[in-house]
Structure formats: structure tokens, C-alpha cells
Amino acid sequence: MDDKRVATVSDSFDPIVFELFKNSLFSMTDDMALTIFRTTYSGVLKDNMDYSTGFADAGGRLVAQGLTLPGHLGSVPTALASIMRHFADNMAPGDVFIMNDPFDGGMHLPDIFIFKPLYHGGERLAFACTCCHHSDVGGRVAGSNASDSTEIYAEGLRIAPMKLYDAGTLNKTIMTFIEKNVRLPVQVQGDLRAQLAACHIAETQFAELVAKYGATQTKRLMTEVLDHAERLTRAELSKLPDGEWSFEDFIDDDGIDYGKPIRLFVTIRKSGDSMVVDWTGTHPQVKGAINNTLSFTKAASYCAVRSVLPQIIPSNEGVYRAIDVICPPGTIGNGVLPAACAARGLTGFRMVDCMFGALAMMLPGKVPAAGDGGNTGISIGGYDERRKPFVYVDFTCGAWGGSPWADGLDGNSHMMANMASQSIEVTEAEMPLAVTAYEFMPDKAGAGKFRGGVPFRRDYRFLEHEGMLQVRSDRRDHRPFGLYGGGPGQPSENYLNPDTDDRLIPSKLTMTIRKGDVFRHVLAGGGGWGDPLERDSAAVLRDVRNEFLSAERARADYGVIVDTKAWRVDIPATEKLRADIKAARGWREAPKVQWHDPATLHRAAG
């Protein structure tokens, strides 16, 4: 390259300026997330942190995402596209847009989007974006996310894309409609104000960026941030093998038609620097409320692909340009009216695991086995003796599948959720509940060279006179799959009054509970990765000492004899037992997987 060409490139693009600008944008979205964290009212936001922040350019292209939920942020482009479709020619400084309609850009009704267009010198340059899961948006069941609703009209207040603020003036009619249709209006409106505060923070900081770089360069740099992410994504995809890989998994049921499994089927086609994720073959949409919108199916697909790409790639819409997601309308991954979708989180999280099954054939050394099937949603609502409403909403997940290099994580949120646990002390102070147990469960993790994550249980004692319990869980009949000889995780469990009746109840339910009732949820264990007989015996001993594994299961699953009095492994006895197990199963070497046959992988998964 001659000197003149070098000078031209240097004049048109300054990599230091670009990097500083890019980092400023992403820092701004993180500040937005912190603003919501500091100002929100509800436990599902301030503790679970079930919210997201982002920043888009004037055309509605997502340029930067905060360190929050992949499930929300992969869906922002669809939501903002709806706003642009309705209002692109009807925007002004001071406008703020609100929406949650799953059939016009949203995901499910509790997730309310707030978008604020940002102006400079009368020109729209960008959008501040927030999405928060609200504790209640009305509907037949407190918490608005029952899995046994059968149509969208039962699930709560459906907000079409509209202006919450028009040129700086609040639309009091919209706020009044919200106030009169939710059980906790003070909390919901407080959380909406937290979203507005985050947008104000973005507006202030973005104005500083524009003052520093100028409007023209700011627009050019935002475009470059998107193009940069696309170039990095395509460069990394081009390093992956070309081909086609398919995988299937099953959701137990939809909570309406019990015992009827629901198929998830994905095919990944990789060619050159692009990828197609095709969900054709997935089950038709169901009666129960676990239907996805296409935007959430896209988010799950992007999340899984991103997990096998380097972390240095910025999270924005440039990444999505290289990944085409297909899911036919009228399926559980792309529901159409009047599909109920309040509990769609279950399907989205399970789609990530299904993606892992296909990616494990494509990249056998990079992908973990299935996790607990999270996240489980638990809502408890009702009225106290003064008829004051209460709504407790909690999402729980915490057992990852074993990976090719390490055990599955214990007590860590699913990557699609990135949520924290709610404080027991705060829960007990604010709700008529006592959390009487929160502990790891032994003998639940899938066995493997690298075992699955150890799940936990929670026990909730209800203290009010009467309330409604709603539970969305799965992995009862179709356990989390293991990979490459790893065993499946043990199933999830729900109990009512386990110390007295010990009655196993369905994985998805809505039921009345009364004072003194105890509900227990046990997560499923993560699937294992690799042959359990190859697991380091010292790791087995450590699990027994930590009460993650009993000595009996150590012997049965891993062929390891643990002396629990001396806390040591009996090496000669272990070597003999493992040799006997290998001989009994005709074992010569680790089982091979036939990459062209997805059914073989699934059988190997257990």
C-alpha cells in the first residue's frame, strides 16, 4: 500500500476515536441499566434484574446493548421496528413511546418497552431503549404470566405502539388505563418512571457525545460501530466449519394438554461468513401460554451462536446481519393471534439448549450439555385482610450443563436470563411469605467426565389467608440431556406441603393456596459431558464431601469407592470397579458420535 493510500485511510477513520466513541456508547447503556437498578420499585427488577437497556441510531438500528438480558436485547430491533413503522413520520423532540403488544413488536405483556427519540438541532439522531418485566399488567392471574392461559386476551393489558409523551406532554389517558388495569399501580408506574429516568440519562450523556464529535461524525461513528460488529462476526463465522446440523428436544407439555410432548427442532446451516438458524419442524403453536414471538426465538438463537464466538464482538444489530433466523408462523416459536405467550420464557430458554445440541455436532469442543431447562417462574398473589393486593414474582434457574472443559455451574443463572436471586430477607419483609429452605440438592446433577450443575430447591411457606400460586417449570419427563456419554440431569419436582402430604404436583399449574401451605420447587440437574468413568476420582470425592453427591451414587455413577470415615478414595477398589463396569458394557474407548446423524447424538445424550 502506498503512502497516499495510508494517508487517505488515516484521514477517514481514526481507530482511537472510534474505540473511544464505541466504549462511550456501551458505557452509556450500562449507566442506563444502573439507573433502573437504583430507582425501580419491584423485586423482579431490583433483585432479579429482569430488565434491559439499549441504544439505537436514528433509523432504529440497535447500536449498543447494556450488560443485561440477551432475551430482551435480541428482541429490541423488532420492537423498535414497530415504532418506526407506526411513527417514523410523526416524531418530535420530547416524544416517548410505549408498547408491549406481542403481535406488534413485543414479546409478552409483562415486558413493557419504552423508547425515547433523541434530537440535536431539530434532527433525530438516536433512540434510548429500555425493556422491563413488570410485576403485574392485569389479566386473570396475579403476575400476568400464567402458563395455563389459552389466549392473549386473558393475559393482561395489551399496549399497542403509542406515544406516552407527545412533545414533552404526558398522555394521562394511557397512564390512567394502566393504573386501572393492574393490581399494583404504584409499583408499575414507579417502574415505568425508572425506565424514563434511564432514557433521560442516555439523553444527557448522548448530548455530551454529540457536542464533542458533532452530529455528522456521531452518525458516521454509530454506523461504523454496527459495521464493525458485522465484520467481526462474519470473520469469526468464516472460521467455523461449513455444513448442516440438526437437533431435536422436547418440552414436557403446555400445562393444558398434560403429557403431550412439544417438539423443538432446529437446523443450523453454516456457509462462508453467514449462518441460517431454521426452526422449521418445530411443533405448531399450543393452547398453553408458552408460545414464543418470533423476536424471542431470534433472541434465543442469537444468544446460543454468540456463546461460541469471541466475547470481543460488540453486542448490537451488526451481529444479527450475519445470522438469519427462520421460524414458520403458527408454530410454538412464532405464535399468531390469539396465541397465549405470557410463559414464553420457558420455550425461549429451552431453544438455547436445543441450539447447543446442534452446535455440539458442529463444534464438539466448545459447547455444554443442557442446563436445568430454566427458567422456572413462580408467582404468588392475592389480597391481605385489608384487601390490599400483593404480587410476588420470582424467576429461578441455576444449573448449567457440563462442558468439554469444566463441570456445569452450580447456582448460576441461565445465560439467556443473566438474573440474580431475590433477597430472602427482602422477600419476607415485603411479602406474606417465609422462605424456609434454599439449598443445593444431592444426586441430581447429570454424571459425566464433567458433571452437570447441581440444582437447588426452595421452600415457600404462605402466611396470608388465601392466595393464588402460579408455576411455570419443565424438564419433568424430558430430562436435561448429556453429551458425549454424559448422563442426563435428574428431573425437576414440585411439591405442596412436602413434610406432610408430600404430594408431587404438575410442572405447570395455577392453584389456590392457603395459610400454612408450603410450596417446594426443585430444579432439574444439568446434563453431564463425557464418560463418567473418566472423571477424576478426586473431583468425585470433593462432590461427596460437599454433599452434592452421595457415596452410593459415586459408586453407581462413577465407579468410585469413597471411604466416608477417612474421606479418601479407595484407589485399588475404584480401579477394579471401573474396569469391571467397562468390561460389562463392552467398553473399549469413549463412544463416538456420528456427526451426520443427529438422532445418534441425542441417543448419546441419554
Report residue 597's pLDDT band, with 50, 70 and 90 as the boundaries.
very low
Average pLDDT of span 308-322 = 94
In this prediction, residue 358 carries a pLDDT of 97
Residue type, 46: K
- Note the pTM of the prediction, 2 decimals: 0.91
Q: How far apart are CA 585 and CA 288, in angstroms?
A: 43
DSSP 280-296: TTPPBP-SSS-PPPHHH
Q: How far apart are CA 398 and CA 390, in angstroms?
A: 26
Q: How far apart are CA 560 and CA 248, in angstroms?
A: 33
Q: Mean pLDDT lowest for which of 8-17, 527-536, 557-566?
A: 8-17
Which three cell numbers mark 41? 420499585
> Which H, E and C letters describe 148-195, residue by residue?
CCCCHHHCCCCCCCEEEEECCEECHHHHHHHHHHCCCHHHHHHHHHHH
* Per-residue pLDDT tens over the stretch 537-552: 999 999 999 999 999 9
- Among 245, 327, 243, 247, residue whose Cα is nearest residue 280: 327
Q: Helix, strand, or coil here: 431?
A: coil
Strand locations in 39-158, DSSP E? Answer: 51-57, 62-65, 96-99, 111-120, 123-133
351 and 297 Cβ atoms separated by less than 8 Å: yes
428 bridge partner residues: none
Burial 307-333 (b: 16+ CB within 10 A, else e): bbbeeebbbbbbbbbbbebbbeeebbb
Average pLDDT of span 495-515 = 93
* Per-residue pLDDT tens over the stretch 569-586: 999 999 999 999 999 987
| DSSP-H helix ranges across 431-570 | 537-545, 551-558
Q: Parse the chain into domains and list their residue ranges.
A: 13-232, 368-531, 535-589
Q: How far apart are CA 561 and CA 563, in angstroms?
A: 7
602 and 481 Cβ atoms separated by less than 8 Å: yes
* Per-residue pLDDT tens over the stretch 20-47: 999 999 999 999 999 999 999 998 888 8
437 bridge partner residues: 459
Does 52 have pLDDT greater than 60?
A: yes
Task: For cell 443473566, name the residue.
Answer: 418
Task: For cell 440477551, name the residue.
Answer: 70
| DSSP-H helix ranges across 438-559 | 537-545, 551-558
- Count of other CB atoms within 10 angstroms of residue 190: 15
Q: How far apart are CA 162 and CA 194, in angstroms?
A: 19
Q: Helix, strand, or coil here: 387?
A: coil
* Per-residue pLDDT tens over the stretch 166-203: 999 999 999 999 999 999 999 999 999 999 999 999 99
407 and 488 Cβ atoms separated by less than 8 Å: no
In this prediction, residue 604 carries a pLDDT of 36
* Per-residue pLDDT tens over the stretch 132-153: 999 999 999 999 989 999 999 9
- Among 111, 160, 114, residue whose Cα is nearest residue 132: 111
Does 5 have pLDDT greater than 60?
A: no
Report residue 414's pLDDT band, with 50, 70 and 90 as the boundaries.
confident
Task: For cell 430488565, name the residue.
Answer: 51
Task: For cell 410523526, name the residue.
Answer: 90
In this prediction, residue 380 carries a pLDDT of 95
